[in-house]
Amino acid sequence: MPILVCIILVSLSFYIYYKMKQVRSQRPIEKKWLAAKSSMALGLFVGLFGINRLFITQTPIAIIIGSLFIIVGIISIWTGYKAYKYYYPYVVKEYEEANQVGK
Q: What is the pLDDT of residue 102?
A: 57
The neighbour count for residue 102, using CB atoms within 10 Å, is 6
pLDDT (0 to 100) of residue 50: 95
Residue 73, pLDDT score: 97
Please, are residues 48 and 3 in contact by the beta-carbon 8 Å criterion?
no
- Stretches in the chain below the pLDDT threshold 50: none
Query: What pLDDT is recorded for position 99?
Result: 84
Residues in the chain: 103
pLDDT of residue 103: 56
Give, rounded to a whole angstrom, the gap between the first and last alpha carbons of the chain. 52
Question: How many CB atoms sit inside 10 A of residue 16's CB?
Answer: 13
Q: Determine the pLDDT at residue 33.
A: 96
Q: What is the pTM of this model?
A: 0.88
